[in-house]
Structure 1
Amino acid sequence: MTYPPNAHTAPAPGLEQPRPPAVPAQAAPAGPPPEGPERPAGAWAEARAVLRRAATTEPGRLQIIGAVLAVLVVAFGAVTAYEISARAASADDVVSRSQPLSADAASIYRSLADADTAAASGFLAGATEPADVRRRYAEDIATASRLLVKAAAHTEGSAESTREITTLGEHLPRYTGLIERARAANRQGLPLGGAYLRYANQTMTTQLLPAAERLYAAETARLRADDEEARALPYLSFALGLVALAALAAVQRRTYLRTNRVLNHGLLAATAASVVGLLWLVAGHTVARAELDNAREHGQSSLEVLTAARINSLKARANENLTLVARGAVLTDDGKNDKYETEHAAGMKELTAALARARELADDDAGRAPVDEAAQRVADWKERHSGARATDDAGDYEGALKRVIGPDESTGRSFDQVDAALKRALDHEQAEFTRSASDGRDALTALPLGAGVLAVLGAVGAIMGINRRLSEYR
């Protein structure tokens, strides 16, 4: 079978032959895609975008307001708890550490000075030292040693106090050794005993007492530093409290203007918690500061003056005894006067001035009465001392000795009366200080915990108040 050859068939008349589809031209290489809108890069930028979108709607704005209020109220409570905790700790240090250490340092000084006085009195009594004088010396040395151990255990972190305690620990055995040599020589009637006693007194006055005085000054300085820290104003707590209250008031005003609702219970609770916290802060710190001021002005200041008075009385008594021991062998630097008699007169002058100052500081009759008695006994002491010196200058050594260490109508009797009166005054002022300082500490004790609890309650109230508004949009 044969087929006709391929040939193009002419289109039928009246019909239009469709055109073959055109072959698309080669597309040009595609260029970079057009840049779309910029997207925020990074978490912080995305967060800002979310906040920006939230701030354009009322629910979003309310959420931001609630978060800010909660942060402000919590910050107020946290800062208050932190600042008041630090001040309460300082107040507790004043009561339980700083002031007791300062008092112990003063007792170390007094015990050492009294031991030196007792040693001189016993030496003047002759070969047979009175038992009560011997016992007084032993008790003073034991007290000083015990308080040194206590001070060493509680003065951590104070290089100055540690240095002075080391000095006292090194020289106290040397002093007691010299006193025992003086006693041994005195029992044998050897003049060398007086030399040993004077050398022991020199060790006491040039090594032990200056170190004890520096220890007392260091501990008193630490007491003052703790007192200043306890009384410092918590400025940041006050500022945050006022800011939190202002923010809460502004939000409640905004709510009223937008809803005509006078009260929002949650915001009202947050405001009440913040007001209570701020008032508690103001009242607690005011009471604590007032009590600590009272403890410092009418307690610690009086204690310092009375301690100085007692120290001067001990020095004067020791120099009075040594005047008879030396018998004019030790002169002042200019060689014109008896050294011990000159120092005794200076000590009595300082004692009189300290008693006058102590009476000014005493704020009640119970505090003034022992000071007045001490002043009267000092006047008697001066009169009896003048009589003893006149007797000694007339060549009656035994008569002068009786006027100085005798059991009745002697300067020793006057000294004991002065010392007893000063002790009563010190005990009274110590009790006044402890009471006032303890009241100041107690005024701050519960405030840190209370501020934390009130801050949590305030933050919860603020969030609940804002959520109440948010529920209206759901």
Structure 2
Amino acid sequence: MTHTPTGSAGPDVRIGAGGPAPRGTVPAPPPGAPGPGRRRAWVESAARLRAAATTEPGRLRIIGAALAVLVVAFGATTAYQVTDRSTAADNVVKHSAPLSATAAEIYRSLADADATVTGGFLVGGELPEKVSDRYENDITHASKLITEAAANSEGSPQARAEIAALNWQLPKYVELVTAAQTNNRQGLPVGGAYLRYANSQMRKPHGLLSSADRLYQIENDRLGRDYTRAKALPYVSWGLGAVALGALLWAQRRHYRRTNRVFNHGMLAASAASAVVLLWLVAGHTVARAELENSAAHGARSMQVLNNARISVLQARGDENLTLVARGSGDDYENNFADGMTLLAGKDPKGVGGELADALRLADDSAGSAPVNAAITGVQTWRARHTAERTSDKAGDYTTAVAKVIGGKDSSGKTVDQTTGSCFDAVDTSLQTAVAHEQDEFKSAADSGRGALTLLPYGAAALAVIAAAGALLGIGRRLSEYR
């Protein structure tokens, strides 16, 4: 009779009963632990890349992708940097330079209005029609330019603050001049007091001319920033271009050493396209930079010096007139006149110095230097006539002094034709001619600089695409040999 074993007659070999697992059985992982096949995607990609790099077709694919990325990055960076510089050059020509010129013209119009009305007061009674028309034209022109500057200031808070100050102060100045004219027509001495007060409002530290000057400096600073951006060297593009071209040459040398074939047409086309972009970039930017520097040195800088000279001329004329309007109490105006002439033409009345000497040095051709030389001659004559006028005034011959400034008959009844006023007009006209010439020089050079960059962004992008396609086709040709 057979009995089935029970109790501890034999070991329990059931899996999971506490005994060791049978040989060849893998223990179950703890709950939540990643399985052996659940690796990160990037780890798998890296593994595949390492595996591909061990074979020649895999290496060729990696090289092709790297070359395509390099040449596309080179083209895109070139297009971006050149577009940025082209935009800055465009701003120089179309925005910052015209705004700087507008601000200078606002200052000139205001200073000329002030000098004109003070000269008219020396006549006595009603202002001559010629003087009145010139004053009104200056005020109208200044108002128009202030409106244009407000429309084109492009959100600059500093510029808008100065424009607001001009808009607020100009009507008050006109009211004071009107009151001065009304009293002067009636022969009341208070008319001269009104005129001197109007002049002080024009020239005080936060007056009209001060605001116009600050606006001019703000626009000049913006012009300088645009010039700096336009002339900045594209180092990143140059570096990427050199790296891309070097990588293409290395790939072709590698191809030659492995196949003994001299040329790979695809990579040869890619190298040629990249070289064209790099050479175009270097040549185009060199030309643009040279032309922009020329426009700055012999255009913008010359205009700035000439505009400053015109302002000095206008202020000197106003001081000369006010010295006589003050009738014996105009020493401050006479001192201002002397200081202004020193700034304009140097200390020597017969020499050449100051702003006019700077303008003559910056003039790079006879068309630019001729009007400056004429202005220098006019200032020398002006100073000599002014000395004669002051001699008459100090001798108590006020009538003759006035005649030597604005014309008319002297105390003996003789008509005076050689006046300081005619010198002032001649100097101002000569400087205006010089400014117009330098404006043309500036625009021509700046347009040439801007034109050197016009097509480069589009050409760089197109040639970069061609270079990338050539590199991929060249690598593809090699890959086809392994199929």
* TM-score computed with the length of structure 2 as normaliser: 0.90
Distance 1:38 1:253, change over 3 A: farther
1:133-282 alignment runs, 5 A limit: 133-206=131-204, 207-282=207-282
1:125 maps to 123
The match for 1:56 is 54
Q: Distance between the aligned counterparts of 1:236 and 1:39, measured in 2?
A: 44
Paired position in structure 2 for 1:27: 13
Amino acid aligned to 1:75: A
Look up the equivalent residue of 1:130 and give its one-letter code: P
- For 1:147 and 1:259, how far apart are their aligned partners in 2? 73
1:443 aligns with 2:449: no
Q: How does 1:36-75 map to 2 (within 5 A)?
A: 39=37, 41-75=39-73
**Equivalent residue, structure 2, for 1:315:** 315
* Whole-angstrom CA distance in 2 between matches of 1:364 and 1:38: 83
Letter in 2 for 1:364: D
| Contact 1:306 1:354 (C-alpha < 8 Å) held by counterparts | yes
Residue 427 of structure 1 aligns to a residue in which SS?
helix
Shift of 1:351: 1.1
What is the CA-CA distance between 1:28 and the residue it aligns to? 3.2
Cα distance in 2 for partners of 1:215, 1:449 equals: 37
| Counterpart-to-counterpart distance in 2, 1:355 and 1:183 | 35
d(CA) in 2 for partners of 1:343, 1:117: 14
Q: Distance in 2 between matches of 1:104 and 1:129?
A: 29
Letter of the aligned partner of 1:348 in structure 2? M
Post-superposition Cα deviations, 1:81-125, rounded to whole Å, max 9, x if no partner, equal: 111111111010000000000000000000000000111111111
Please say if 1:414 is aligned against 2:423.
yes
2:461 paired with 1:452: yes
- Structure 2 Cα separation of the partners of residues 27 and 141 of structure 1: 114
Aligned length: 447
Unaligned runs of 5+ in 1: 1-6, 8-23, 331-337
| Partners of 2:28 and 2:88 in 1: CA distance | 65
Counterpart for residue 400 of structure 1:
401
Query: What is the deviation of 1:328?
Result: 2.3
SS at match of 2:149: helix
- Separation in 1, partners of 2:93, 2:142: 22
Are the counterparts in 2 of residues 179 and 196 from structure 1 also a CA contact under 8 Å?
Answer: yes
> Structure 2 vs 1, CA of residues 50 and 194 (structure 1 numbering), >3 Å: closer, same or farther?
same
What are structure 2's unaligned runs of at least 5 residues? Answer: 2-9, 30-34, 346-353, 409-416
**Corresponding position of 1:339:** 332
User: How far apart are residue 39 of structure 1 and its match?
Assistant: 4.5
* Structure (1 or 2) with the larger CA radius of gyration: 1
Separation of aligned partners in 1, 2:190 and 2:407: 24
Alignment of 1:341-360 (within 5 A): 341-352=334-345, 353-360=354-361
For 1:220 and 1:231, locate their aligned partners in 2 and report how far apart those are by CA, in whole Å.
16
Q: Does 1:361 align with 2:362?
A: yes
Q: Determine the structure 2 residue equivalent to 1:377.
A: 378
Supply the AA of the counterpart residue of 1:74: V
Q: How does 1:77-88 map to 2 (within 5 A)?
A: 77-88=75-86
Q: Which moved more, 1:430-439 or 1:268-277?
A: 430-439
* Aligned alpha-carbon RMSD (Å): 1.8
The residue identity in structure 1 corresponding to 2:320 is E
- Aligned letter for 1:431? D
Deviation at 1:157, TM superposition (A): 2.9
Q: How far 1:286 sits from its partner (Å)?
A: 0.3
Per the alignment, do residues 239 and 152 of structure 1 end up closer, same or farther by CA in structure 2, a change over 3 Å counting? same
Instruction: Using the TM superposition, give the Cα deviation of residue 156 of structure 1 relative to its aligned residue in structure 2, in angstroms.
Output: 2.3
Task: Summarize deviations over 1:152-173 as a string: whole Å, max 9, x none.
Answer: 1111231111111111111100
The structure 1 segments of at least 4 consecutive aligned residues displaced by more than 4 Å after TM superposition are: 34-40
Check whether the contact 1:308–1:354 (CA below 8 A) recurs between aligned residues. yes
Per-residue deviation, residues 124-174 of structure 1 (Å, max 9, x unmatched)? 111121111111111111111111111111112311111111111111000
**Letter of the 2:42 counterpart:** W
Name the SS for the 2:481 alignment partner: helix
SS in 1 for 2:124: coil
Which residue of structure 2 aligns with residue 300 of structure 1? 300
* C-alpha distance in structure 2 between counterparts of 1:288 and 1:129, whole Å: 53
1:40/1:447 CA distance change after superposition, 3 Å: farther
How big is the shift at 1:34?
5.4
CA contact (8 A) 2:111 2:311 kept: yes
Could you tell me how far 1:369 is from its partner in structure 2? 0.3
* Aligned 8 A contact 1:40 1:46 in 2: no
1:428 and 2:405 aligned: no
Instruction: Tell me, yes or no, if the aligned pair for 1:178 and 1:197 is still in contact at 8 Å.
Output: yes
**Partner deviation per Cα, 1:356-408 (whole Å, 9 max, x = no partner):** 11111111111100000000000110111111111111111111111000172
Secondary structure at the aligned position of 2:15 is classed as coil
- 2-structure distance, mates of 1:350, 1:142: 29
The separation in 2 between residues aligned to 1:254 and 1:157, in whole angstroms, is 57
Q: Which amino acid aligns with 1:244?
A: A
Instruction: State which drifts further: 344-353 or 101-110.
Output: 344-353
Aligned partner of 2:113 in structure 1 is 115
Q: Report SS of the residue matched to 1:444.
A: coil
Residue identity matched to 2:344? L
Cα distance in 2 for partners of 1:443, 1:428 equals 23
Distance in 1 of aligned mates of 2:139 and 2:227 = 32
Question: Match of 2:130, as an amino acid?
Answer: D
Question: Residue type matched to 1:29 in 2?
Answer: I
Matches of 1:356 and 1:222, distance apart in 2: 26
Q: What secondary structure does 1:473 align onto?
A: coil
Shift of 1:26: 4.7
**Bigger shift: residues 155-164 or 213-222:** 155-164
Distance 1:43 1:314 in 2: 78
